[in-house]
């Protein structure tokens, strides 16, 4: 994943302030990988029907979804409360 200098600097500031950085990328030698405390790698191949960029994005979204479900299962009560709060907030905005 190629990230611009502004994002690198923002991550450096966050890290200096104690934030943990988790990266999802397919490039081991990227600036993002070097800054991250934890790096999760995805690997995809371009096919006739799907470009490498869209395959990579799909792999990253699948990984995020898997992490979300795993954490939700570990913290069911908190997750259900948060989801209910989100539903209530959204319902107030609906016409």
pLDDT in tens, 1-34: 567 889 889 999 999 999 999 998 888 888 889 9
What local confidence, expressed as pLDDT, does residue 1 receive?
Answer: 52
CA gap 32, 60 in Å, rounded:
15
pLDDT in tens, 63-92: 999 999 999 999 999 999 999 999 999 998
Cα–Cα distances in Å, from 79 out to 5, 93, 94?
Answer: 35, 22, 23
- Given a cut of 60, whether residue 61 has pLDDT beyond it is yes
Please provide the CATH number assigned to the domain covering 5-93.
3.40.50.10490
Domain residue extents for the chain: 5-93
DSSP summary character for residue 33: H
Q: State the chain's mean pLDDT as an integer.
A: 87
In sequence order, the 6+-apart residues with CB closer than 8 A to the CB of 1 are 23, 24, 25, 26, 27, 30, 32
Mean pLDDT of 41-66: 81
CA gap 93, 5 in Å, rounded:
37
């Amino acid at each position: 994943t190629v990230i611009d200098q502004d994002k690198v600097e923002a991550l450096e500031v966050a890290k200096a302030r104690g934030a943990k950085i988790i990266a999802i990328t397919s490039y081991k030698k990227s600036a993002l990988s070097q800054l991250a405390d934890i790096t999760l790698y995805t690997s995809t191949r371009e096919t006739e029907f799907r470009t490498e960029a869209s395959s990579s994005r799909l792999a990253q979204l699948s990984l995020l979804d898997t992490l979300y479900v795993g954490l939700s299962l570990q913290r069911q009560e908190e997750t259900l409360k948060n989801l209910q709060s989100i539903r209530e907030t959204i319902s107030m905005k609906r016409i």
